[in-house]
Amino acid sequence: MHQVTPRVELLAHTPDALSLIYAAFRQCYHAGFVGDMWPRLLSGEISAEKQADFVAKVMESGHDSPIEHVSFTFALEGISRALTHQLVRHRLASYSQQSQRYVDGSDFSYVMPPTVANNPEARRLFEKCMSDLREAYSGLKGLLEADGRGDKAAEDARFVLPQAAETRIVMTMNCRALLNFFEHRCCARAQWEIRAVAEQCLELCRAVLPAVFSRAGARCERLGYCPEGKKFTCGRYPLP
C-alpha cells in the first residue's frame, strides 16, 4: 500500500482527425459531396495548414457540432474513487473502470490530498486511517471467505474501502465533450486532483489536434473574462 499520483496515457484517437473534422465542416457549407473531396484531403492536396485554418475560423463562430465526429481515448491511473465520482458526471463519454468486486483491494494504494501531505499531524492521521482500513478489508474478506462467500467475498469487503483508494479507468470522449470537460475541470475552482488529470488530457489533445484545442481550457481562457461571478472568481481574469 503506497501513495500514488495521477498518470494519463492517450490510447487512441480517431485517425485523420483534422481531415475528418474539416470534411464534416465543409459538408455543411459545400454544395457537393465531401466523399469526393476525401482523397484530396488524405493526399495533402488540400494542405493541413489550410484545413486547420478553416476549422479554427468556423469554430470561432460558435459552430462546433462537427467536431463530435472525432474522439480521444485515455487510460487513467493513480487517481482516487473521489475523482471518478466527479468524472462520470460528464455523461457524453464512455467509461470502463477497474472493478472493486473482482480486483482484490487487500493492498490498495491511495491518493493523498496535498493539504494533508503538507501537514505532519494530518498526514499521520491519514496514513493510520489507510492502514486501519486495509486491515479491516483484509479481515472482512478473510471472514467472508471462511463463511462460504469464496470469490464473492471482495464485493462485500469493498464497502470499507475509502474514496482515497486508487482506481484505474479508460475514458473516451468526443472533441466537443472534451472542450466542455476542460472548461469545467481546468478551472481554478475545480478540485485539485481532477484539474491535474484534465490538464494532462488537454496537453495530449493539443499535441494531436491544435486546431481544436489550442485555446481549450477553463472558460475564462476562451472568453477573456471570468464568467464565475464576483463570489467565485479566482481573480485571474476580470469579471464581465
Residues 6 or more apart in contact with residue 119 via CB below 8 angstroms: none
State the cell numbers at 233: 472568481
User: How confident is the prediction along the chain (240 residues), in pLDDT tens digits per residue?
Assistant: 689 999 999 999 999 999 999 999 999 988 999 999 999 999 999 999 999 999 999 998 888 999 999 999 999 999 999 999 999 999 999 999 999 999 999 999 999 999 999 999 999 999 999 999 999 999 999 999 999 999 899 999 999 999 999 999 999 999 999 999 999 999 999 999 999 999 999 999 999 999 999 999 999 988 899 998 999 999 889 998
Point out the catalytic residue in the list 185, 189, 195, 206: 185
Taking the C-alpha atoms of residue 49 and residue 53, their distance in angstroms, rounded to an integer, is: 6
- Known active-site residue 185: yes
Q: Name which of 27, 51, 26 is nearest 210 in CA terms.
A: 51
pLDDT-above-90 percentage for the chain: 90
Domains of the chain: 8-75+167-223 (3.30.1360.170), 109-164 (no CATH)
Please report which helix (H) or strand (E) contains residue 153, including its range: helix 153-157
